Structure formats: C-alpha cells, structure tokens
Amino acid sequence: MYLFRTALAVVTLSAGAPLALAANQHEAEARAFFLEARDEATAVALPAARARWIFNTYITHDTQQMVIETGKQRELTRVAQARQAHALLGKPGLSDSTRRDLNKVRQTANLPSPADPAATARLLEIGAELKNLYATGSYCDNNGECLSLREMERILRSSRDPAEQLALWQGWREVSPPMRQLYREQVELANAGASDLGFDDLGDYWRSRYDMSGDDFAAAIERYWQQAKPLYEALQCHVQARLTEYYGAENTPGDGTIPAHLTGNMWAQNWSGIEDIVMGSQTAAPFDLTAILAEREMDAIDIVKMAEGFFVSLGLEPLPDTFWERSMFTRPADREVVCHASAWNVDMQDDLRIKMCIQLTEDEVKVVHHELGHNYYQRAYKDLNYFHRGAANPGFHEALGDAIALSINGTYLHQIGLLDSAPKADKQTQIAALMKMALDKVAFLPFALVVDKWRWQVFSGEVGGEEYNSAWWQLRRQYQGVSAPVARSEANFDPGAKYHIPGNTSYSRYFLAHLLQFQFHERLCELAGFAGPLHQCSIYGSQAAGDTLNKMLAAGTSRPWQDTLEAFTGERDVDPRAMLNYFAPLKTWLDEQNKGRQCGWQQAATARPSPGP
C-alpha cells in the first residue's frame, strides 16, 4: 500500500510538473515586473511632484501646463504598468503577496485613464482646470468687496447674522457651476479607464484599494456608521434645538434639519464654530487656544514648531532643515495659490514639506498636527518599495495626525507652558470639553460618508449628470439631517464647492480616520501608562508610545492593513467603540438634554421660510 501511494505521488508530480513549472515562471515573471515597475515609477514621479508643488504654490497658465505635461508622462507610465499588472493577474499560480503587489501597481493612478494618450491628456487638463477654478474662486458682494474662501470661512465662524451667513454660503457656491460639465466628462473618462482594468467603475476601483472587494468595503463603511449613528443623532438633535432657540423658528426649516449656513462652517462638516450657541450659558470649554495664541503673540512658524515638538517628544527625529526652507506656511500676497492644507514628500525621501495658509486659530493648530502626521508617516516608510510607500490604508494616513491632536488638551498645554495650570476636571468642564470635540469629530462623520456615497452613485450611473445637485442634497438630508438654506436646482453644482470633489480625493479615508484615530489614541494612551478617562489622556513625552507607533508607520502598505492594525492595537477591524467610549459621558448628558424634544428629521424636503433679516 505504501509503495502504491509513493508511485501515485510520483505519477501525479510528473503529470503536474509542467503546470508547476508554468506557475513558477508566472510568479518569477510577476516579481521581475514588480521590481521594474518600481524603478520606472520612481523615475517619473519626481518631476511630476515638483511640477505639482510649483503649480499649487504659484498658479499661472504656465505652471498649469507644467503639471499637465509632467503629469501626462507619469499617467502614461501608470496606465501602461496598470495594464501589464492586470494581464499578469490573469495568470495562474501567483502567490497571495504577488497578487497584492500587482494590485498595488494596477491601482496607482487616482483617476485611471483609457489606453489612449489623447484621453490621458484630456483627463489631466480637466483635473488641472477643476483645481484652478476652485483655487482662484472668490465672492464679491454688492459693494464690490471680494473675499477669498479663507476670509469667508473666518467670517462664517464668528458671524451670528443669518443674512450675512446666507450671502457668504451662496456666494461661495457660485464658484462651482462652471465645473459641472467638466466633472461629467471626467467621470466618463475615468470610468472607462477603471473598466479597462477590470473594475465596474471608478467607485469600485477606489473601494477595492482596501484589501477587500469594493462591495465588501461599502458594506463595512455602512456597518461602522450604524454603530456610531446613535451618538451623532443625539448631537444633531441638541444642536438643532439650540440653533432654533438662538435664531428663532423663522430662520430654521422646522422639519428637524439643521440649515447648512448656520453651522459656522462653509460645508456644515463640523460645527465647532457655534460652540457658544450649542452650550449657551452653560460652562464653556476649559481653555480657548485661539485666545492663547493671540495672547502669546504666536505666529504660523510657532504653531508648526509646537507640532514638531510633539512628535519629537515621542522619540521621533526633528524635521529636516529643508522642511523649513521649502514649505509654504502662509498665503503669499503676490500670487494665487492652493491654500487647502496638504503634506508633501517631494522626492519620496527627505524633501518633506507642508502647504498651508495658516491662520492663528485652535482649529489650525490641529490641522498643522494632522499635516505633520502625514510627514512623519512619509518619512517612516520612505525606504520601502515605491508601491509600498503609503499608509496601511488611506484612513491610517489621515488618522495619525488626528490621533496626535487628541492629545492637545489642557494637560498638554500646561506641560508646554501655554497654560499656567491644568484645567479642573469637574463634570461641567468635562462635558464642555467633550462637546467642543464632538462638534468637530462626531459632526463630521455623516458628511464624510455622504461625499463618497454621492460619488459612488455618480460613478455607477445611479445618479446621472442631470440630477447631481438633487442627489447631493438628498444624501445630506438623509445622513446628516442638514438642509440647504434656500432652494437649489440643477443650475447649481454644490458638491463642487467642496475641494475634494474637483480635487478628486476619495473621502472614505476621512470617515475611517475619524474612527481609527480613537483606536490609535486608546492604544497609545495604554502604552503611555495612562489609566484615566480617555479624553483626559495626552501621550506627549511618551517614548514607549512613540516606538510602537513608529513601527506601525514603517510598515507602510507592505502588508494588508488588517495585519498592521492587529500588530498595533490587537484588533483586525475598525471599531467605533473607541470613539463611543471617548464620548460616553457626553452621550449620557445629551440624552438628558434631549428629553421631551422631538428628535429626528423629515427625509423629504419641505417648503423653506424666507431667510430672516
């Protein structure tokens, strides 16, 4: 019997030898391609990155052409590599790791173009024009006074005049209607490119970057939202009630929704600008960092130094001298620039930079920490293969800096000398601090969900070009309980008034980041030896936390994000419970405040009152 099994094994091996040999050849061919693609992609990336930096910090016709020309070469390279990777993925015998690497090559481009140089050039032209329309947009009032977006944002945050708020809200949205047809053409081209690579559409292409199928990712996102939804609904109910009390029923819809122009934010994506209205006469937050910045006469460089100091306190290296020489920290007076904050590693080695028009506010302090989080992540994985230089998944990149920013609390400000003493920890102060954070973090969740849900519907054809705007506001109402303050039509293109639509940046990463950051914070606080309430923890100065954090960063995207998350936190999935634990005292307080209120909102729009004086 033993001899029979041995003989059978030999026969089977002999019969399968050609197949095994072919599989080995396919594996070797794929590995060789992956290494060649790395070298080729690295060579074309640098000139394209430099051109994009110049365009973003000096917008002219010529710099736009530079972006198009260098971008065309980069995209043609990416298209060719993506098609080769797609062909290799069809061959049998590839290992799981090789298949994953080939998928990385296949999905390098943000907007895959069809295999046609003219189509690639057109896609780049549209992208540059959309960004140019957004970056150079402004609003001019009846007196001819023109305001930039940053100036409008500042006024919206402080104004309590509904007529002024409405004028600014409507004024900025005059920027986006010219984008509409360009965007529609872009969708058609990018969908064709995604289809050529084996994806249903551009939405499927974007969702499939998360080490799971596009459908599985969409289901996971919805599952995370359902877990976090009760906290948001409690917050929305309280905020809507307080806005109605403050502005009067004549300035609110009366259907349970929040009018978008009264939130202190141009997109109603966070509500921290109306903290005074939401809390009313109750205890204010324990500190006002914006006031502290003014009192200490701190400037933009001081804020960046403060953020760098936090990372250095964790045992990470200071930023290179070139960071300070080459970054754009404030808006230049002599030229048009893209002010939207971003972090760069231009040569993918040590040429780290940020691009911002820093304003001296508490929110901007958090944004600077966020952007430096990107820089430290970029530095940590710089020695990996080109296609492994990136976050474990896109949400990790966004979550890192935000997790650090959760440590910007009274304890930390006292540690670095910006507060004379740590704030008191009584219940009222605790609730005020948590509310301030929730108006930023919790309020943001459904907005982040809507931005990509709208695009997924557009990319799939579920929403056609003739219903872009109505579909946008339907989702805003459904998920956020937020409504437009005046009637909108298909003559408008309100999605385009948000940078990430013309900028073609997937927004699911921000939704994930707003959950992951609390998981990261929870784990880092544990490593730092903190044992109190999570919202009181600051990991400033903990090298134990910094060492473990840097190991996660250095892994880049070299393995599935679930493995990286498990190595860092012990969990293999995004878990909203960390956020819910963080805000648990606030949720209890909100439930008490909402007793007797009619919470929830009508899903169908009702007639809107005329705006008040």
- Per-residue pLDDT of 131-165, as tens digits, reads 999 988 989 988 889 999 989 999 999 999 999 99
Residue 472's CB: how many other CB atoms inside 10 A? 26
Among 105, 124, 154, residue at a domain's last position: 105
Residues labelled as active-site residues: 371, 500
Of the pLDDT bands very low, low, confident and very high (cuts 50, 70, 90), residue 84 is very high
- Is the confidence at residue 604, as pLDDT, over 80? no
| 224 annotated to bind ligand | no
- The CA distance from 382 to 405, in Å, is 24
Between the alpha carbon of residue 234 and those of residues 149, 240, 245, 437, 588, the distances in Å are 31, 10, 17, 15, 10
The answer to the question of residue 141 being in a domain is: no
**pLDDT for res 613:** 32
The answer to the question of residue 98 being in a domain is: yes
Helix (H) or strand (E) holding 343: strand 342-345
**pLDDT for res 159:** 96
Among 80, 105, 130, residue at a domain's last position: 105
Closest by CA to 542, choosing from 554, 557, 562, 525, is 525
- Is the confidence at residue 549, as pLDDT, over 80? yes
The amino acid sitting at 21 is: L
Inter-residue long-range contacts of 15-19, CB under 8 Å, 24+ positions, other chains counted:
19/92, 19/93
Q: Where are the beta strands (DSSP E) in 138-207?
A: 138-140, 146-148
Beta bridge partners of 367: none
Q: Which of 229-238, 430-439, 565-574 has the lowest mean pLDDT?
A: 430-439
- The CA distance from 197 to 17, in Å, is 32
- Identify the residue with better confidence: 117 or 613: 117
Burial 520-534, CB ≥16 within 10 A → b, else e = bbbbbbbbbebeeeb
pLDDT digits (tens, 9 = 90+) for 276-309: 999 986 666 788 899 999 999 999 999 999 999 9
The residues, ordered by sequence, that sit 6+ positions from 450 with a Cβ below 8 Å of its Cβ are 472, 475, 476, 479, 480
Q: Could you give the dihedral angle defined by the CA atoms of residues 379, 384, 390 and 391, in that order, rounded to the nearest 10 degrees?
A: -80
Q: What is the mean pLDDT of residues 323-342?
A: 94
- Is the confidence at residue 571, as pLDDT, over 50? yes
Q: What is the mean pLDDT of residues 245-272?
A: 96
The answer to the question of residue 190 being in a domain is: no
**pLDDT for res 20:** 61
Q: What is the mean pLDDT of residues 349-354?
A: 97
* Cβ-contact 414, 438 below 8 angstroms: no
**pLDDT for res 481:** 98
Residue 191's CB: how many other CB atoms inside 10 A? 24
Total domains in the fold of the chain: 2
Residue 276's CB: how many other CB atoms inside 10 A? 15
Phi and psi angles of residue 602, each rounded to the nearest 5 degrees, phi first: -75, 135
Would you say how long the chain is, in residues?
613
| 125 annotated to bind ligand | no
Of the pLDDT bands very low, low, confident and very high (cuts 50, 70, 90), residue 374 is very high
Q: What is the mean pLDDT of residues 531-558?
A: 95
Give the CA diameter of the chain.
99
- The CA distance from 396 to 568, in Å, is 12
Q: What is the mean pLDDT of residues 26-36?
A: 95
Of the pLDDT bands very low, low, confident and very high (cuts 50, 70, 90), residue 611 is very low
The answer to the question of residue 440 being in a domain is: no
Q: What is the mean pLDDT of residues 98-116?
A: 92
Of the pLDDT bands very low, low, confident and very high (cuts 50, 70, 90), residue 426 is confident
Residues of the chain above pLDDT 90, percent: 81
The answer to the question of residue 179 being in a domain is: no
Q: Average per-residue pLDDT in the chain?
A: 92
Structural domain including 78 reads 2-105
The answer to the question of residue 524 being in a domain is: yes
| 223 annotated to bind ligand | no
- Is the confidence at residue 609, as pLDDT, over 60? no
- The CA distance from 457 to 463, in Å, is 5
Q: Are strands 342-345 and 352-355 parallel, antiparallel or unpaired?
A: antiparallel
Residues of the chain above pLDDT 70, percent: 94
**pLDDT for res 428:** 86
**pLDDT for res 349:** 94
* Cβ-contact 521, 528 below 8 angstroms: no
Q: What is the mean pLDDT of residues 51-72?
A: 92
- Is the confidence at residue 18, as pLDDT, over 80? no
Tokens of 81: 């590599």
- The CA distance from 437 to 396, in Å, is 20
Closest by CA to 290, choosing from 278, 307, 273, 277, is 273
DSSP 591: H
- The CA distance from 588 to 424, in Å, is 20
Q: Could you give the dihedral angle defined by the CA atoms of residues 176, 177, 179 and 184, in that order, rounded to the nearest 10 degrees?
A: 130
User: What number of CA atoms fall less than 13 Å from residue 336's CA on the CB side?
Assistant: 16
Closest by CA to 578, choosing from 285, 224, 314, is 224
* Cβ-contact 433, 176 below 8 angstroms: no
The answer to the question of residue 113 being in a domain is: no
DSSP 328: B
The answer to the question of residue 328 being in a domain is: no
| 510 annotated to bind ligand | no
Q: Cα–Cα–Cα angle for 23, 28, 31, nearest 5°?
A: 125
Closest by CA to 228, choosing from 599, 583, 589, 602, is 583
| 370 annotated to bind ligand | yes
